[in-house]
Amino acid sequence: MSEHSPAAAIAEVRGVRYSVGSRVIFDGLDLSVERGSITAMMGPSGTGKTTLLRLLTGQVHPQDGSVQVLGEDVPQLRGAALYALRRRMGMLFQNGALLTDLNVFENVAFPVRENARVPEAVLRRLVLMKLEAVGLRGAAQLMPQELSGGMARRVALARAIVMDPEILIYDEPFVGLDPVSMGIILRLIRHLNDALGITSIVVSHDVQEVLSIADRSYLLAGGRAVASGSSAQLQASTDPAVRQFITGSAEGPMPFHYPAGDYRDALLGAESEL
Amino acid sequence: MNSALRKIGQITLFLLSTLRVCVPALARPGLIARQVYNTGARSLIIIMLCGLFVGMTLGLLGYDLLGRFGSESALGVAAALGLVKVLGPVLTALLFAGRAGTALTSEIGLMRATDQLTAMEVMAVDPMRHIIAPRFLGGVIAMPLLAAIFSVIGLYGAQLVGVTLMGVDTGTFWSQMQDAVGMADINEGLVKSFAFGVACTLLAVYEGYHAERTAEGVGLATTRTVIASSVLVLIINYMLTAAFL
């Protein structure tokens, strides 16, 4: 599947198997992320996109296979070594995950205060620069409760880049945003990636938006990456799964319905039978 | 039975993890002071109000009981021993569990539900060190202080009823108390309130940290905090009372 040389890969997942109880999330997942690129991870809900991010950041460990990030074997890392790797990564959470007892300025300053000894004057300039980059320098004194969804996402983005990470991970960055906020976030992802020279991994099922900025995309389904390529390649693909996902059709290899018994039996059967 | 033992084991391991990060957490006294304020100072009004009325009730009841044996003059001693050794620490702990304990559990549970704790982990910040340890230390420090305030206000409540309303001599009330109540009694109260502080705060932060990421999960965790803390306080109180006899 990989058309990229291993040397250029900043993150690599090989043969990963991961299950929760009897539910198999990944069964032989292979993918790689090229340094300096924007790589999109797409797929229907429940295909393990967020779980993939948790594997990359060492929050969960695969039962089998390898996860390499920035040259480190993530499942083998514990304690200080894992934290050292995470300091080189930034992550934007779906809901922002801002610390609700800190204002915007302190939220952005938080990773620096906790992980580095920086003079207060330098920290102030650093935070203001990051807030300016996301257009929210004027909101520095606001509390998270006073922000709109789009603003909270941008503050979280400023916080994610404040440590100048090598990899920036976005978990569903467009969910619940109005078109203006979505456009701003899209441009910010592209701009930050190019201006800061970082590698971006974007998990999303907003197909058109994410394809518009991605250098390479993966389509996850059934525990595997069923397709990958550039945005143009995916849009030109004749693969039924890719076509179904890109066109948003209910008909195709990706089931819309959760597995269930016979519909007629359920309607005509006893009330206790669902 | 198995699940109860497993839970006790999990809480013990959580306590050990918390104690392990308490030493580095001491390097951030600002975080601990903030939690002493949140758990202690914010509980002050309810503690003082309850202390006053418990003391007044003790004054009334003590005067009535002691009066049957012609020993009204011992009211100060009875009130002091009752408050310092048992009522002060126990009732403070129960109020603490209901006010500060529930606040801690719901706060940490909501932080879990809204990914704030996960975000910290991804930012290479240990939530045990940054969130749990300061709250644990804050609660452990605040509890003996609150219990002492409860007892002092309670004594004034007992004096208000016994001396001002019932006519017990002021000098007798305070001097007999001074003669009969020793450091051993005060130490018993201190040890109890410290133990209750550890138990109530530990349960509160444990339940919050392990709450399910749903509104119902946070609600259930908060309920468990109050129930488990209250039962544990009464059990520990009995054991320590027996140990100090």
At B125-136, the pLDDT tens digits run 999 999 999 999
Q: Under 8 Å CB-to-CB from B194, ≥6 apart: which residues? A: B140, B143, B144
Give exposure, B53-72, as e/b (b: 16+ Cβ within 10 Å): ebbbebbbbbbeebeeeeeb
B11, part of any domain = no
Chain centroid offset of residue B62 CA: 25
At B209-229, the pLDDT tens digits run 999 999 999 999 999 999 999
Contact B114 A115 (CB under 8 A): no
Among residues A265, A224, A236, the alpha carbon closest in space to that of A26 is found at A224
At B146-173, the pLDDT tens digits run 999 999 999 999 999 999 999 999 999 9
| Residues in chain B within 8 Å Cβ distance of A114 | 123-125, 130
* Total domains, chain B: 1
B21, part of any domain = no
Q: Under 8 Å CB-to-CB from B184, ≥6 apart: which residues? A: B244
Q: What angle do CA A224, A230, A234 make, to 5 degrees?
A: 65
Least confident piece of the model among A119-123, A172-176, A257-261, B170-174: A257-261
| Residues in chain B within 8 Å Cβ distance of A60 | none
The tokens for A229 are 């390529």
Q: Is A144 on the interface with B (CB under 8 A)?
A: no
Contact A100 B126 (CB under 8 A): no
Are the C-beta atoms of A219 and A48 separated by less than 8 Å?
no
CA A110, CA A101: separation in Å to the nearest integer?
12
pLDDT averaged over every residue in chain B: 94
B99, part of any domain = yes
Using the predicted structure, report yes or no on whether residue B25 has a pLDDT greater than 70: yes
CA B116, CA B106: separation in Å to the nearest integer?
13
A99: closest CA of chain B, how far (Å): 6
Q: Under 8 Å CB-to-CB from B203, ≥6 apart: which residues? A: B11, B97, B101, B224, B225, B228, B229, B232
CA A111, CA A120: separation in Å to the nearest integer?
14
B175, part of any domain = yes
B194, part of any domain = yes
Mean pLDDT, residues A70-93 taken together: 92
What is the domain range of residue B38? 31-244
In this prediction, residue A174 carries a pLDDT of 86
Using the predicted structure, report yes or no on whether residue A2 has a pLDDT greater than 50: no
In this prediction, residue A21 carries a pLDDT of 87
B10, part of any domain = no
A70 or A95: whose pLDDT is higher? A70
In this prediction, residue B229 carries a pLDDT of 96
Model confidence at B81, pLDDT cuts 50, 70, 90, reads: very high
B16, part of any domain = no
A158: closest CA of chain B, how far (Å): 13
Interface mutation target, options A69, A86, A99, A166, chain B, most CBs of B under 10 Å = A99
Ramachandran assignment for B219, one of left (phi > 0), alpha (psi -120 to 50 degrees), beta (any other): alpha
B199, part of any domain = yes
Q: Tell me how far apart the terminal alpha carbons of chain B are, to the nearest angstrom.
A: 32
Using the predicted structure, report yes or no on whether residue A266 has a pLDDT greater than 60: yes
At A5-64, the pLDDT tens digits run 444 789 999 999 999 988 889 999 999 999 999 999 988 888 888 899 999 999 999 999
In this prediction, residue A4 carries a pLDDT of 46
